[in-house]
């Protein structure tokens, strides 16, 4: 019964979204106040109808209602409660519902935090968001309805995919979706501003915290997925250039470009068109990612069971959203002024270079991702594009970007004397050269890729610190330097913290990709294997029953130079519901390195207590990769909390600015 009510609530949400969208946009365009005011209640109603539907589906999972087809396919009565709640987004239909719920959540947030905006602008923003929600509602109701019943109901569910029964994967999709969907707010802002024909500094300032929020979620979501792949899949890799990973990476890259372009638009009023275009692009790439994942046009480990009807729907949706946005853009963009002038050697032009590089890098990822489709479309055969392409094409494009990253904080808006900047950069440059020359020897031998990595890491790190301290000391007056540091605006802190995150990330990537070691060995009880000074001693296997799986657990003793460190327990799990065994690697994590072991296959299937194939890894600085991502996200959070985005102050300045337009 509850399922039917939830279903009905979802159906009800569609006309709510559609009418709210149409009326508020039309009202804003024709200046009818009564119509625009429906946006506020519409956004609220939309959130509650969709939220209620989501709640009903969750309850069906919690209560093991296997007469609901979606529940029967993605849950099981043996499944622990937390995975039953997370199971709602374990399949295509439910994850779309979660996506929609988040979209409505963002819409509600936009409604709440937009009180200070002019009515028409607010109605346009909410209207665009409601129309997007209407599109997704239609998609769910027509092609991917999670509320359908099974006749007769199943006695037992098929269980959640064992891959998803892991804490990492419980949080990975929601974070990622929050990021994807979050870009819809930046998109709605851009569309609203284009509709009003007013792309100004107020618009940029308003968009910034929202774009930041979406980008933070996306960063954390990607990092979380990468970390999961690393510890769960047991291949020791952290990024595979899989089409679906790329689908999340492209909006991230464009999101970074958008953040920096917004900064220039807000501060100097330049690049308005470009910023609006990036906002459209970021959201369109999110939609494209959805299309790639859900339609099954590309092979990927992430792909959902595909259904052509779904692909067709999303493609039409994408075509409508992107096509209309581009038309609007082309119609409005020529009338937008160029903004403040700037010299060749200025922060503006460097940010422009950064943007071009990021967009080009996004383009190479797009090309690599779609290339198999292009080849297939010409009937030229089946190919797949993997890491060699991306390492050869994408990675070198990052070098100039990383170099610029160290330079830009020293360059002032409008115009800078290049001599001044060059002398500012002397210290970071010397430090980076020294690091590149010396640090690779810490890991044994000097080689070019790791030296390059260290160079950029130190270049960015020292540059960020130096610039931060210099600015703080210049502004300190009579107070102490420390005090002055803390008096710097949060956005300044955030920027440097995020840049330090990039430095940490680069160091991690460089060291891991060059100095990792791995060994495949066969081990019987009592055998030892040594890797990079660490010794694993295999003590034996034992059987370990789990709730909904049985497992063979190995026991390993890890020691270094004869000193015992800890025991490790790698596992091989056999879920009752699946033929695929799952590998649970055992990792000894540290600040400077991970050592880890994962089990392969027993040599003789009949004797799982005997010899096994195992793989041991030594991964220096691998945690810096995710640490760097975390710092980037933290920097984003700080920047978002900056005082000037808070309502009281900024609403007055906004009124002033919009009044002047």
Positions in the binding site for other proteins (CB under 8 A): 158, 291, 295-299, 305-306, 308, 311-312, 315, 318-319, 322-323, 326, 329-330, 333-334, 370, 372-374, 376-377, 382, 578-580, 605
Nearer to other proteins, 430 or 580 (CB): 580
- First-residue to last-residue Cα distance in the chain: 55
Least Å distance, CB 478 to other proteins, is 54
> CB-wise, 114 or 143, nearer to other proteins?
143
> Which residue lies nearer to other proteins by CB, 376 or 611?
376
CA distance 258 to 208: 9
Q: Give 299 or 473: the residue with its C-beta nearer to other proteins.
A: 299
3-state helix, strand, coil in the chain (%, to 5): 65, 10, 20
Cα dihedral 218/222/223/227 (nearest 10): 150
CB of 382 to other proteins, least distance (A): 7
296 versus 590: smaller Cβ distance to other proteins: 296
Q: Is the peptide bond before 308 cis (omega within 30 degrees of 0)?
A: no
- For other proteins, which is the closer residue by CB, 399 or 576? 576
Shortest distance (Å) from residue 412 CB to other proteins: 31
Nearer to other proteins, 318 or 395 (CB): 318
Cβ at position 11, least distance to other proteins in Å: 27
Q: How many CB atoms lie within 10 A of CB 264?
A: 27
Least distance to other proteins, CB of residue 149, Å = 18
- Least separation in angstroms between residue 130's CB and other proteins is 24
- With H, G, I as helix, E, B as strand and everything else as coil, classify residue 543: strand
Q: Give the CB-side neighbour count of residue 24, counting CA atoms within 13 A.
A: 28
| Residue with smaller CB distance to other proteins, 315 or 539 | 315
Three-state DSSP string of 578-589: CCCEEEECEEEE
Q: Which is nearer to other proteins, 368 or 636 (CB)?
A: 368
- DSSP symbols for 246-284: HHHHHHHHHHHHHHHHHHHHHHH---HHHHHHHHHHHHH
- Supply the minimum distance, in Å, between the C-beta of residue 244 and other proteins: 13
Nearest approach, Cβ of residue 92 and other proteins (Å)? 12
The full 3-state SS of 544-581, as one line of letters, equals EECCCEEEEEEEEEEEECCEEEEEECCEEEEECCCCCE
d(CA 456, CA 450): 10
Alpha-carbon distance 68 to 3, whole Å? 8
Residues in CB range of 242: below 8 A, 6 or more apart: 300, 301, 302
Structure tokens given for 458: 């130190």
Closest approach of other proteins to the CB of residue 507, in Å: 37
Minimum distance, C-beta of residue 448 to other proteins, in the bound complex (Å):
37
How many H-runs (helices) and E-runs (strands) does the chain carry? 21, 10
Where would I find the H helices in 333-415? 347-377, 387-407
Of residues 389 and 569, the one with the C-beta less far from other proteins: 389
Measured in degrees and rounded to the nearest 5, phi and psi for residue 478 equal -100, -15
């Amino acid at each position: 019964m509850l399922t039917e009510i939830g279903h009905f609530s979802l159906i009800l949400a569609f006309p709510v979204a559609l009418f709210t969208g149409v009326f508020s946009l039309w009202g804003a365009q024709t200046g009818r106040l009564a119509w625009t005011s429906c946006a506020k209640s519409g956004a609220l109603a939309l959130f509650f109808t969709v939220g209620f539907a989501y709640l009903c589906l969750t309850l069906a999972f919690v209560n093991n209602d296997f007469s609901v087809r979606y529940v029967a396919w993605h849950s099981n009565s043996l499944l622990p409660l937390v995975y039953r709640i997370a199971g709602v987004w374990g399949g295509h239909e439910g994850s779309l519902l979660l996506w929609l719920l988040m979209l409505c959540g963002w819409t509600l947030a936009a409604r709440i935090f937009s009180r200070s905006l002019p009515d028409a602008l607010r109605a346009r923003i909410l209207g665009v968001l409601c129309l997007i929600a209407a599109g997704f509602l239609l998609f769910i109701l027509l092609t991917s309805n999670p509320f359908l019943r099974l006749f007769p109901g199943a006695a037992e569910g098929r269980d959640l995919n064992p891959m998803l029964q892991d804490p990492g994967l419980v949080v990975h999709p929601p974070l990622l979706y929050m990021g994807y969907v979050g870009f819809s707010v930046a998109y709605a802002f851009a569309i609203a501003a284009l509709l009003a024909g007013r792309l100004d500094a107020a618009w940029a300032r308003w968009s910034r915290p929202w774009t930041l929020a979406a980008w933070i979620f996306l960063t954390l979501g990607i990092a979380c997925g990468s970390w999961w792949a690393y510890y769960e899949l047991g291949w020791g890799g952290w990024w595979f250039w899989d089409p679906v990973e790329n689908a999340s990476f492209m909006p991230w890259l464009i999101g970074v470009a958008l953040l920096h372009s917004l900064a220039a638009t807000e501060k100097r009023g330049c690049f308005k068109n470009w910023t609006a275009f990036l906002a459209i692009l970021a959201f369109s790439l999110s939609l494209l990612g959805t299309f790639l994942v859900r339609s099954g046009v590309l092979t990927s480990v992430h792909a959902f069971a595909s259904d052509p009807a779904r692909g067709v729907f999303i493609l039409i949706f994408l075509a409508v959203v992107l096509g209309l946005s581009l038309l609007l853009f082309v119609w409005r963009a020529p009338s937008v002024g160029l903004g403040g002038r700037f010299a060749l050697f200025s922060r503006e032009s460097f940010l422009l270079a950064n943007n071009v590089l990021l967009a080009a890098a996004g383009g190479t990822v797009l090309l690599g991702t779609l290339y198999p489709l292009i080849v297939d479309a010409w009937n030229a055969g089946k190919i797949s594009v993997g890491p060699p392409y991306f390492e050869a094409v994408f990675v070198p494009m990052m070098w100039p970007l990383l170099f610029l990253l160290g330079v830009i904080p020293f360059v002032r808006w409008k115009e800078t004397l290049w001599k001044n900047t060059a002398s500012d950069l002397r210290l970071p440059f010397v430090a980076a050269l020294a690091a590149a020359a010396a640090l690779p020897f810490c890991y044994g031998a000097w080689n070019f890729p790791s030296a390059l990595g260290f160079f950029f890491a130190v270049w960015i790190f020292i540059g960020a610190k130096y610039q931060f301290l210099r600015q703080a000391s210049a502004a300190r007056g009579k107070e102490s330097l420390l005090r002055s540091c803390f008096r710097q605006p949060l956005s300044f802190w955030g920027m440097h913290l995020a840049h330090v995150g990039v430095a940490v990330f680069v160091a991690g990537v460089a060291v891991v990709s060059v100095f990792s070691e791995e060994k495949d060995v066969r081990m019987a009880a009592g055998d030892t294997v040594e890797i990079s000074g660490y010794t694993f001693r295999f003590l034996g296997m034992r059987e370990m029953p789990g709730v909904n799986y049985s497992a063979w657990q190995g026991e390993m003793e890890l020691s270094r130079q004869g000193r015992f460190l800890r025991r490790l327990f790698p596992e091989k799990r056999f879920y009752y519901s699946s033929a695929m065994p799952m590998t649970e690697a055992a990792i000894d994590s540290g600040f400077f390195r991970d050592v880890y072991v994962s089990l392969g296959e027993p040599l003789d299937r009949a004797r799982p207590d005997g010899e096994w194939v195992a793989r041991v890894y030594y991964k220096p600085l691998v945690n810096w990769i995710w640490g760097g991502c975390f710092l980037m996200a933290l920097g984003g959070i700080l920047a978002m909390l900056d005082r000037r985005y808070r309502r009281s102050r900024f609403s007055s300045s906004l009124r002033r600015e919009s009044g002047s337009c």
